[in-house]
Amino acid sequence: GIQVEQSPPDLILQEGANSTLRCNFSDSVNNLQWFHQNPWGQLINLFYIPSGTKQNGRLSATTVATERYSLLYISSSQTTDSGVYFCAVAWRGGSEKLVFGKGTKLTVNP
């Protein structure tokens, strides 16, 4: 099956800093989503981005499908950005399931 690797596993920032989270995947995908998991476990959709670039406020994401990676950019980070960020993919050769990476744990200090 498809492999999904996220880096870095942990990231500590000061409020106001920018960051880039990376997701590498091992096969062609027809679905790629970025999620933020809050301390209560809720997975919040950030982007549906199997290819291209999208922006939403301080967040943006880029997926380069031909090179099998996606990047999530967080600018001017806030303490409320803390949590775990997951990348998840569904791949063309497999079933309809989402395969998740292990996540990046982001801590933003005031």
Smallest gap from residue 16 Cβ to another protein (A):
28
Query: Would residue 89 be called left, alpha or beta, if left means φ above 0 and alpha means ψ between -120 and 50 degrees?
Result: beta
Q: Decide if residue 30 touches another protein (CB under 8 A).
A: yes
Q: Which is nearer to another protein, 58 or 97 (CB)?
A: 97
Nearest to 41 by CA among 108, 91, 103: 103
Q: Which of 42, 76, 78, 107 binds another protein (CB under 8 A)?
A: 42
3-class DSSP state for residue 110? Answer: coil
Q: Which of 11, 23, 72, 88 binds another protein (CB under 8 A)?
A: 88
Q: Decide if residue 39 touches another protein (CB under 8 A).
A: no
Q: Decide if residue 86 touches another protein (CB under 8 A).
A: yes
CA 106 – CA 58 distance, rounded (Å): 15
CA 22 – CA 9 distance, rounded (Å): 10
Q: Which residues bind another protein (CB under 8 A)?
A: 30-31, 33, 35, 40-45, 48, 86, 88, 90, 95-103
